[in-house]
């Protein structure tokens, strides 16, 4: 029986386990990336393991999230990351060089390689034929130290693309159509592979837009073939020697096949407050808007920006609209400046931001109260923009630019003849903002610089024989990591200071949660379906650990967050019967009387709600390896004890 692209790459990198669906497999990782919002923790964890030098083929540290230096905190963290990277063999992408996923696609990504990154949108690399996973910082630290990266072997879903995109319909509309079909939970436990004749009509940047938002499906990752289109992109980046052809076998078997006719698609928009709340733009036409933001790792490529510049050329942004634009990389920015497109953008009245994540993570450009904001980003969770009642819609760059000019939601198909932007035969290549590490023999000459905002990691102890705590919080479905540990300009500078961050934990859901945890000596969180969707930020596990959370009991989990809980030593437990969720009320006294023995045995876990005098059976969302990790008090303790790195 033939193999899919993902199965081929997994087989070539398999270190432990067997490739049976649901089984734990350990993979050798070729490349890693970090960004500064998660990087400080990842490098603190790497240092704690005591490994002197990274063992991957290439590891890169990017500064793209916390670039607003309104105090010493971000600058200090950047200096820490730069020095620790220099010392331990990691390449350092300086502030202003661009967003990690865009730059990695341009300068480092290679077909057939494995990549994990401490950012949930790392699957962007699937656009170039990589098997790229978003992961917690601790998983990245272990991989940098030479350890395996573990996943449950996913099922394989194929999205069969036919036809060609019509005028003014873009790659963003393709992934929104997939989200409309599958929902934000529809990719859980799956790898999404794109195939069919329609693939040949999509450039690498367009493919990367699609794989980028595979994260919003909850998918393990997404991947495109590596073909002549991929080869041309790599050659244009001066990296043609890294190309390999990669496709699924003709007799590969997929567990699910979805068909999408590219020619039948139209401009789409994800409505507040979920990426799968998708409607045609024509149904929203005429709605007054207040703000447009173009950029993010989803839509900030050269092709995206050239199309936006063409729409804006000779026009003026509507007086009631604030338009901001951020290129994804210095390469893109330089090329726009060189060919005059940047002048067209500026002349139209756009506010040009630095090459960084910016408004996508709530780092500036928050909309006005109840403002309608059109964004080319990947997430529109409530409050993520920095404005609690902001109404955020996710759209393509073409829809965004057309609407910025008109002042209302506008279907770009009314603009006339479509903009055609050819792929460059040669990109402008200047890697002077990427700092290589020092030679290994000179490692001891580098002093790692730590600012006062960098605080020690919270580390769990071994799992207790029993756990007895109150249900300190009960929440519903689709709780995101933004709910658990918000981002934004006021909070992100403290990503290396867990004690300070703790005062904001679950602030979107319940502002009293941190103080309640301190008063009650920690507790247990009860949740609905898809708990922890969204970002890979391990702070959403580290901060609850600091506050004394011992376990989470949910109807179901997002993949990365469940792994992050286990990595930190918090028990991810799941109701055997979802109806039992309704039997627990906030502040009930919950007891896991035999939890240590039950985790060791690998079977169900018994919960007693002593307030209600009822017994509830739970399953531990843990592989055998993760059970050992939790028993040891988390991945860091387990790795050091087992010598896994």
- Give SS3 for 369: coil
**Predicted confidence (pLDDT) at residue 237 exceeds the cutoff of 90:** yes
Helix, strand, coil % in the chain, rounded to nearest 5: 35, 20, 45
User: Position of tokens 């077909």?
Assistant: 111
**Predicted confidence (pLDDT) at residue 645 exceeds the cutoff of 80:** no
- Give SS3 for 542: helix
Strands (E), 305-401: 322-325, 351-352, 372-375, 391-394
* Angle, helices 204-212/302-312, rounded to nearest 10 degrees: 100
Provide the token pair at 387: 């404005």
Give the pLDDT of residue 642. Answer: 74
Confidence of residue 643 (pLDDT cuts 50, 70, 90): low
Name the DSSP class of 119: S
User: Residues 44, 46, 49, 53: is their CA dihedral positive or negative?
Assistant: negative
**Predicted confidence (pLDDT) at residue 68 exceeds the cutoff of 90:** no
Contact between residue 516 and residue 418 where contact means Cβ atoms under 8 Å apart: no
As its CATH architecture, domain 5-264 has: 2-Layer Sandwich (3.30)
pLDDT per residue over 306-324, tens digit each? Answer: 999 999 999 999 999 999 9
Higher pLDDT, 631 or 487: 631
pLDDT per residue over 174-183, tens digit each? Answer: 999 999 999 9
Confidence of residue 456 (pLDDT cuts 50, 70, 90): confident
Q: φ, ψ for residue 240 (rounded to 5)? A: -60, -30
- Give SS3 for 507: coil
pLDDT per residue over 590-632, tens digit each? Answer: 999 999 999 999 999 999 999 999 999 999 999 999 999 999 9
Q: Right CATH number for 467-486+497-642 from 3.90.1170.50, 3.40.50.300, 3.20.19.10, 3.40.50.10070?
A: 3.20.19.10
Q: What is the Cα gyration radius of the chain?
A: 24
* Angle, helices 330-339/100-107, rounded to nearest 10 degrees: 80
**Predicted confidence (pLDDT) at residue 81 exceeds the cutoff of 80:** yes
User: Position of tokens 């909309």?
Assistant: 367
Q: Other C-beta atoms within 10 Å of 290: how many?
A: 18
Q: How much of the chain, in percent, has pLDDT values that exceed 90?
A: 91
Confidence of residue 535 (pLDDT cuts 50, 70, 90): confident
Q: Looking at residues 566-585, what average pLDDT do you find?
A: 97
**Predicted confidence (pLDDT) at residue 186 exceeds the cutoff of 60:** yes
Provide the token pair at 32: 């890693």
pLDDT per residue over 249-290, tens digit each? Answer: 999 999 999 999 999 999 999 999 999 999 999 999 999 999
Contacts of 594 (CB under 8 A, 6+ apart): 465, 466, 606
CA distance linking residue 282 with residue 264, whole number of Å: 14
Contact between residue 596 and residue 570 where contact means Cβ atoms under 8 Å apart: no
Contacts of 547 (CB under 8 A, 6+ apart): 502, 505, 513, 514, 517, 518, 522
Among 192, 201, 194, 193, residue whose Cα is nearest residue 163: 201
pLDDT per residue over 375-432, tens digit each? Answer: 999 999 998 999 999 999 999 999 999 999 999 999 999 999 988 899 999 999 999 9
Contact between residue 323 and residue 351 where contact means Cβ atoms under 8 Å apart: yes
The reply to whether 5-264 and 268-414 are identical in fold is yes
Contact between residue 24 and residue 625 where contact means Cβ atoms under 8 Å apart: yes
pLDDT per residue over 356-379, tens digit each? Answer: 999 999 888 999 999 999 999 999
**Predicted confidence (pLDDT) at residue 67 exceeds the cutoff of 70:** yes
**Fold of the domain built from segment(s) 268-414:** Aconitase; domain 3 (3.30.499)
User: What residue spans define the domains of the chain?
Assistant: 5-264, 268-414, 467-486+497-642
Give the pLDDT of residue 394. Answer: 98
Averaged confidence pLDDT in the chain: 96
Confidence of residue 44 (pLDDT cuts 50, 70, 90): very high
Provide the token pair at 88: 């331990």
Note the pTM of the prediction, 2 decimals. Answer: 0.93
Give the pLDDT of residue 635. Answer: 92
**Predicted confidence (pLDDT) at residue 118 exceeds the cutoff of 80:** yes
**Predicted confidence (pLDDT) at residue 495 exceeds the cutoff of 90:** no
Higher pLDDT, 464 or 642: 464
Give the pLDDT of residue 644. Answer: 54
pLDDT per residue over 426-443, tens digit each? Answer: 999 999 999 999 999 899
């Amino acid at each position: 029986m033939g193999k899919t692209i993902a199965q081929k790459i997994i087989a070539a990198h398999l270190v432990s386990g067997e490739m049976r669906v649901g089984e734990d497999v350990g993979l050798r990782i070729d490349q890693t990336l970090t960004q500064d919002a998660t990087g400080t923790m990842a490098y603190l964890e790497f240092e704690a393991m005591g490994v002197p030098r990274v063992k991957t083929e290439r590891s890169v540290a990017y500064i793209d999230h916390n670039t607003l230096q309104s105090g010493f905190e971000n600058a200090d963290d950047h200096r820490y990351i730069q020095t620790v990277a220099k010392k331990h063999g990691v390449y350092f992408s300086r502030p202003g060089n661009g967003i990690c996923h865009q730059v990695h696609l341009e300068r480092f990504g290679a077909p057939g390689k494995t990549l994990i990154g401490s950012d949930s949108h790392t699957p962007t690399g699937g656009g170039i034929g990589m098997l790229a996973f978003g992961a917690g910082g601790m998983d990245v630290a272990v991989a940098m130290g030479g350890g395996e990266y573990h996943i449950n072997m996913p099922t394989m879903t194929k999205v069969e693309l036919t036809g060609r995109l019509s005028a003014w319909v873009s790659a963003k509309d393709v992934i929104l159509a997939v989200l409309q079909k599958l929902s934000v939970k529809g990719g859980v436990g799956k790898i999404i592979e794109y195939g069919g004749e329609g693939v040949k009509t999509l450039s690498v940047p367009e493919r990367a837009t699609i794989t980028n938002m595979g994260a919003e499906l909850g998918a393990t990752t997404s991947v495109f073939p590596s073909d002549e289109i991929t080869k041309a992109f790599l050659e244009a980046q001066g990296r043609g020697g890294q190309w390999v052809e990669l496709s699924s076998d003709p007799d590969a078997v997929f567990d699910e096949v979805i068909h999408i006719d590219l020619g039948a698609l139209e401009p789409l928009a994800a409505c507040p407050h979920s990426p799968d709340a998708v409607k045609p733009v024509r149904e929203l036409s005429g709605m007054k808007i207040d703000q447009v933001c173009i950029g993010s790792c989803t839509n900030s490529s050269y092709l995206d920006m050239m199309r936006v510049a063409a729409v804006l050329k000779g026009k003026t942004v509507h007086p009631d609209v604030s338009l901001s634009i951020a290129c994804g990389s210095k390469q893109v920015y330089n090329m726009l400046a060189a060919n005059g497109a940047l002048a067209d953008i500026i002349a139209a009245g756009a506010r040009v931001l630095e090459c960084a994540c910016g408004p996508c993570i709530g780092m500036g450009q928050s909309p006005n109260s109840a403002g309608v904001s059109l964004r080319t980003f990947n997430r529109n969770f409530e409050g993520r923009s920095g404005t609690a009642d902001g109404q955020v819609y996710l759209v393509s760059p073409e829809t965004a630019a057309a609407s910025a000019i008109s002042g209302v939601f506008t279907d770009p198909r009314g603009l006339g003849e479509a903009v055609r932007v050819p792929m460059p035969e040669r990109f402008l290549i200047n890697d002077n903002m990427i700092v290589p590490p020092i030679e290994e023999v000179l490692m001891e000459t580098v002093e790692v610089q730590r600012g006062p905002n960098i605080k020690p990691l919270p580390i769990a102890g071994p799992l207790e024989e029993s756990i007895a705590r109150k249900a300190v919080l009960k929440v519903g479905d689709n709780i995101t990591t933004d709910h658990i540990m918000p981002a934004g300009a006021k909070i992100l500078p403290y990503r290396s200071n867990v004690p300070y961050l703790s005062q904001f934990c679950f602030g979107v859901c319940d502002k009293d949660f941190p103080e309640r945890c301190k008063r009650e000596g920690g507790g247990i969180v009860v949740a609905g379906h898809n708990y922890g969707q969204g970002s890979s930020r391990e702070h959403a596990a580290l901060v609850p650990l600091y506050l004394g959370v011992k376990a989470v009991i949910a109807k179901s989990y997002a993949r990365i967050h469940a792994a992050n809980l286990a990595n930190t030593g918090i028990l991810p437990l799941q109701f055997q019967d979802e109806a039992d969720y309704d039997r627990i009320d906030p502040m009930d006294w919950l007891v896991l009387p035999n939890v240590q023995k039950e985790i060791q045995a690998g079977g169900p876990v018994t919960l007693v709600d002593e307030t209600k005098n009822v017994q509830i059976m739970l399953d531990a969302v843990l592989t055998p390896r993760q059970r050992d990790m939790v028993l040891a008090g988390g991945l860091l303790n387990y790795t050091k004890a087992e010598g896994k790195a």
